[in-house]
Amino acid sequence: MSQTKILKSSESSVKPRALGAGRFLVRLLVLSVVSFILLIGVAWAFGALWFDFPISVLRRPLAAVFGLGAIAALVFVRPRWRAQLGVAGAIVLVAAWELTIPPSNTRDWQPQVAEAPYVEFQGDRVVIHSFRNFDYLSKTEFRPRWETKIVQLSNLRAVDFFTNFWGPKLICHTFLSFDFGPDGYVCISIETRMAKGQNYSALAGLYRQFELYYVIGDERDIVRVRTNYRLEDVYLYRLLAATPEKARALFLEYVKSANEVHERAQWYNELTSNCTSNIRVHIKHIGSARPWDWQLLVNGTIAERAYELRAIDTSLPFAELKRLSYIDERARAADRDPAFSSRIREGLPGIHEAWFTPPPDANRTAKFIVLLYHRFEDRPAELVTTPNDFRAQLKALKDNGISVISMQDLLAWRKGEKAIPSKSAVITIDDEWNSQYYVAWPILKEFGYPFTLFIYTQWVNTGGKSTTWAQLAEMRDAGADIEAHTVSHHDLRHAPRAQDYTTWLHNEVYGCKETLENKLGVKIIALAFPYGFHNEVVRKTAKEAGYEMQFTVYGRRMDINVPADQIGRYAIDSLKGDVFKAALDFGTTDSTQPGVETSQLASAAMLTEPLNDQRITEPKPTIKANLASMGDVDPKSVEMRISGFGLVPAVYDPKTKLVTYAFTQKLVPKMYIVILTAKVNGKKVETRWDFTVDPAGLIATDQ
């Protein structure tokens, strides 16, 4: 009927025909819009079944049946409204079901997201649990390290935001870092929490695939993994809009959400609950008048927008600011430096220098000791500690209020970057005996203590009682610190027969570091001298090779002023119980004693002055030795002899364990041998060393 009508009217006039075509166009438009919406719904529901349907083998078939069925219905079923209603109903059903899928906090998580951080408040004190501070070896390899970080809320003074471009220029990941001044930075990044076997995809991110995750951690983890390992572009801007009050409110908002996620899992959603949308929500919540118009999907220009709104520094043209804000090069140069956060901010406008200068009072009055172990066997012997003694000693440290800290923390403290407890100890273990892996490591794990292994590379993987590279890698992965103990374990002061000293020494010092760094993908920062022997050339060479700390074998309590190239260690074994006791007493001597230097002789861990092998310029020297590590010395038995002089009236102080003799006459330039004897547990012990009075040196100092 209507067709005839249209045909007829088309013949009669133009106007009605136009009206008919208009009605047709409107209907077409409505149909298109409805179909478009329904198709988006079908596509979404298709994806929901494809990704989320509980029975995995049915996911694809079901999604296919649904998708094809819906399209077929829309194309073939008439009247059309019936098909449209049916398809809409099916989409609603899928959506309703999708909403009932519960997020979980208890999947088999990937190790990077294994722990969900949470935060406790104790007045001004903020205790952050599961603070992530992984050390990365490559994009995918890392040593997990979950820390407990404590900051004072009143120290929070600024907020920085990062934009992180991993590929497309229009989209970036954004995250924040809170500047707690002397307590360092707390970086928070909102990400997906992925279970083992999952891979991120933006499409899957639209569905119930990934739980929401708040990474709270160190910038050396969250920033460095992006700049130094994934090699992504990262920019850093200080949020000038965040006054301390706003910064505080924002931090509390973040923490509240992180705690909620810790309590009850939430879904991540690519569109509605992603890194940027959550930041926007947080900023809104703190009542900011203009939470910026965060672009949800196309957020690559977020920094430009912040610049327009004067939320970041505007003293420079944006292009220039952006150039300075690119932190990758500085991050790569800083690498594992504890001053990483300071170094990536160097030269950034809006960040006042004083804001990142390490505070002068990072507990500079703390004292520390370093313990040295070798083998772990059931029968006590020289250099052997029994498992029982070891366990008892680790417990004794705890019972005596001595905190075990890592080598990295010791270095950070020395650089003024980090505070350490006022009584701290570093545990070091030398010479890669495999009993370290089989016996000591499990015991250390019981206590959760960090420790350092000093390795001389030549002996690794040689069978017998030596540790393998695989075992070292396994311990490294679990957080053990690996450092250098030369290539051959030869006394560094003398080259082996027929070898050029300089070339040989260079290889021992540089070669060991390089081998360890290459084999294990670590950064070596410390060197332990074999037998504790060293001289000026050795120390200088090691310093040039990049060792930031050098260790002798003379036990004593030390403070922040101890020279970096002569850090002493108490050599512990089950025969010399007194050495550990002396360590536990936290030493009886102080490293601040002027002019005291360290060395160890083969038979006993001992400090002497002058050092063994040293050339001195002073013609009337004072000879000193510290017997603290010799064990239970009978005070009356201590005797000092000097070549050309015989027995000298040296004075022994049982309190400081120092034996001292000051020459009252000038010595002629030559070499002198000092022989020291004492009774230890009824047994006579002798040790000797030499020094040279150097006439050339005398002339040099006289000038």
The residue count for binding Zn ion (CB under 5 A) is 2
- From the CB of 383, what's the least distance to Zn ion, in Å? 9
Contact 192, 213 (CB under 8 A): yes
**DSSP-based three-state secondary structure for 271:** coil
CB under 5 A: which stretch of 39-47, 250-258, 322-330, 424-432 binds Zn ion? 424-432
The H or E element spanning position 698 is helix 695-702
Closest CB to Zn ion among residues 430, 565 = 430
Q: What are phi and psi of 297, to 5 degrees?
A: -100, -45
CB under 5 A: which stretch of 194-202, 428-436, 518-526, 631-639 binds Zn ion? 428-436
- From the CB of 482, what's the least distance to Zn ion, in Å? 14
DSSP state of 446: H
Contact 49, 95 (CB under 8 A): no
DSSP calls for 641-673: EETTTEEE--EEETTTTEEEEE-SSPPPSSEEE
Q: What are phi and psi of 190, to 5 degrees?
A: -95, 120
Other beta carbons within 10 Å of 405: 21
Closest CB to Zn ion among residues 160, 430 = 430
Closest CB to Zn ion among residues 183, 430 = 430
CB under 5 A: which stretch of 253-261, 322-330, 423-431, 618-626 binds Zn ion? 423-431
| Contact pattern for Zn ion over residues 92 through 131, marking x by CB under 5 A | ----------------------------------------
CB under 5 A: which stretch of 11-19, 246-254, 431-439, 458-466 binds Zn ion? 431-439
- From the CB of 388, what's the least distance to Zn ion, in Å? 23
Closest CB to Zn ion among residues 345, 513 = 513
- From the CB of 532, what's the least distance to Zn ion, in Å? 9
- From the CB of 306, what's the least distance to Zn ion, in Å? 55
- From the CB of 535, what's the least distance to Zn ion, in Å? 17
- From the CB of 574, what's the least distance to Zn ion, in Å? 17
- From the CB of 430, what's the least distance to Zn ion, in Å? 4
Closest CB to Zn ion among residues 164, 600 = 600
Contact 140, 285 (CB under 8 A): no
Closest CB to Zn ion among residues 227, 385 = 385
Closest CB to Zn ion among residues 211, 431 = 431
What sign does the CA torsion over 268, 272, 275, 279 have? negative
- How far apart (Å, rounded) are the C-alpha atoms in residues 205 and 193? 11
Closest CB to Zn ion among residues 164, 488 = 488
Q: Which of 313, 430, 432, 508 binds Zn ion (CB under 5 A)?
A: 430
Q: Which of 179, 211, 431, 491 binds Zn ion (CB under 5 A)?
A: 431
Nearest CA among 464, 432, 429, 417 for reference residue 182: 417
- How far apart (Å, rounded) are the C-alpha atoms in residues 529 and 545? 14
491 counts as binding Zn ion under rule CB under 5 A: no
- From the CB of 384, what's the least distance to Zn ion, in Å? 14
- From the CB of 452, what's the least distance to Zn ion, in Å? 13
- From the CB of 600, what's the least distance to Zn ion, in Å? 11
- How far apart (Å, rounded) are the C-alpha atoms in residues 565 and 548? 8
Q: Which residue is nearest to Zn ion (CB)?
A: 430
Closest CB to Zn ion among residues 160, 431 = 431
CB under 5 A: which stretch of 154-162, 233-241, 425-433, 578-586 binds Zn ion? 425-433
- How far apart (Å, rounded) are the C-alpha atoms in residues 112 and 33? 44
Closest CB to Zn ion among residues 46, 551 = 551
Ranges within 65-84 binding Zn ion (CB under 5 A): none
Q: Which long-range contacts (CB under 8 A, 24 or more apart) does 272-281 make?
A: 273/212, 274/190, 274/205, 275/173, 275/174, 275/175, 275/189, 275/190, 275/191, 276/174, 276/302, 278/190, 278/212, 279/161, 279/174, 279/175, 279/176, 279/190
CB under 5 A: which stretch of 65-73, 429-437, 507-515, 646-654 binds Zn ion? 429-437
650 phi-psi bin (left φ>0, alpha ψ -120 to 50, beta other): beta
Closest CB to Zn ion among residues 42, 371 = 371
DSSP state of 485: -
- From the CB of 439, what's the least distance to Zn ion, in Å? 18
- From the CB of 453, what's the least distance to Zn ion, in Å? 11
Ranges within 643-662 binding Zn ion (CB under 5 A): none
Q: What are phi and psi of 363, to 5 degrees?
A: 50, 55
| Cα Rg of the chain, angstroms | 35
Respond yes or no on whether the N-terminal peptide bond of residue 610 is cis (omega within 30° of 0). Answer: yes
Which tokens is 404 given? 């075990």
Closest CB to Zn ion among residues 258, 480 = 480
| Contact pattern for Zn ion over residues 345 through 374, marking x by CB under 5 A | ------------------------------
Q: What are phi and psi of 130, to 5 degrees?
A: 55, 45
Closest CB to Zn ion among residues 431, 609 = 431
Other beta carbons within 10 Å of 71: 15
DSSP state of 294: -
Closest CB to Zn ion among residues 492, 693 = 492
- From the CB of 441, what's the least distance to Zn ion, in Å? 18
Footprint of Zn ion on this chain (CB under 5 A)?
Answer: 430-431
